[in-house]
Every structure is written in structure tokens, then in C-alpha cells.
Amino acid sequence: METIDQNTLSNIKYNDHGLVPAVVQSAEDNEVLMLAYMNEEALRLTLETRKGTYFSRSRQEIWVKGETSGNTQAVKEVYYDCDADSILLKVDQTGVACHKNRKSCFHNPLTETASTTQVSDIISELYSVVSERKENPVEGSYTTYLFTKGIDKILKKVGEESSEVIIASKNHSKSEMTEEISDLVYHTLVLMANEGVRPEDIGEALKKRRPSDD
């Protein structure tokens, strides 16, 4: 258990309800993931356990992020602002941060420039839905069907979609390639979920393949 500086903790200014807002940010890409609230106990537990721990204003109780959903937060860094009345957490997020199966809770655009959806967000969201189908099968769902049939069926589909991408490329059809590559990405995500490979794992591997500047 990590030692907590009680003098530093005493600097935090809580509101009239004994709470302080906590902004949660991805340690990987600095994207803002969510806003929650902490009381003194939640902050202390977060520092002790290094798990994102908050206070629910609706339920009036302490809760640990991902305790039921599996979308956990490993806390890497904790800061407080210049007025000591808000907290910033930098976390390694497993799965999605938003209860609506979005990577970030901040996905409702108010400006045109904010409306462009990032490819990484779409992939994270789709992977989350695919994983949910694996854990909680839905009758009539094609994704559930693939998981039910097992690895051989999933691999067959990945192989078929790979071949279709090649054919579309030979036809020099951008629209056809777009559709076939999308099918391949979807079936690859099903394969990943089946085998326990996360988008974050792929991201780490891709970082090693970045072109050198020299």
C-alpha cells in the first residue's frame, strides 16, 4: 500500500456536500474520459488502491469503476488544481469509460468541429459491443452466432473477408474496398474478443511500427 501524504490531502477543498469533482483522463492519449465526484474516503481509497474510486451522488455510496462492468481504471497519476478544488486522474482504462458503451462520456458534440468521430473511438465502441455479445449472448445476433459457432467459424470469416479485400483492391474500387475492409475489421474484432486481445494491445504493437524519422 502506498504512503499517503496527509498534509497534501488536507489541501483539498470539498464543496458543501463534502465532494470534489474528479476529471478522468487517459494516460495513453490524454483524452478526457469522464467526470465523477469524490468524497474524502473515495480519494483516499483511490490513492491507496490505485483503482478509480468515486462517490455516487444518486446512491449516496462509494463505488469502484468497473467493479461490475469490468471497465476498470488503473490510476497512474493524481493531481489537484491551483485552487485545490478539483482532482485530475490519469488512468489506464480497460474497456470503455462511458456506461453507454462509448470510450469517453464526452461524445455529444455542440460544435461542428467536434462532430468528427475518431476511428479509434469507433473501434473501441465496436469492440465493447462485440465483447458484450460474447459475455451476454443475444438471440438473433450475428455476433452471438459467430461466438456460438466458435473459433473455426470466426477464422473462416476472417479468411473470406481477407480474400474479398484482395479482390476489391484488384478491381480498383474504393467503395468496394471500403466495405470489404470494414467487414474484415469487424470480423477481426470478433476474433480479438474471442481470444482476449484488446484494441489497446494492438495500439501498443503498432507504436513499435511507427516509421523512423531518420
Residue 212 pLDDT class (50, 70, 90 cuts) = low
pLDDT > 80? residue 113: no
The yes-or-no verdict on residue 114 having pLDDT over 50 is: no
Across the range 65-69, mean pLDDT stands at 91
- As a whole number, the mean pLDDT across the chain is 90
pTM above 0.75, yes or no: no
CATH of 117-207, one of 1.10.10.60, 3.40.50.150, 1.10.287.1080, 1.10.3720.10: 1.10.287.1080
CATH topology of domain 6-93: Ubiquitin-like (UB roll) (3.10.20)
Q: Is the pLDDT of residue 214 over 50?
A: no
Of 116, 107, 52, nearest to 78 (Cα)? 52
Helix, strand, or coil (residue 88): strand
Name every residue whose Cβ is closer than 8 Å to that of residue 101 and which is 6 or more positions away in sequence.
125, 128, 129, 132
Q: What pLDDT is attached to residue 75?
A: 97
Give the pLDDT mean for 139-161: 96
Structural domain boundaries in the chain: 6-93, 117-207
Counting Cβ atoms within 10 Å, is residue 53 exposed (0-12), middle (13-18) or buried (19+)? Answer: buried
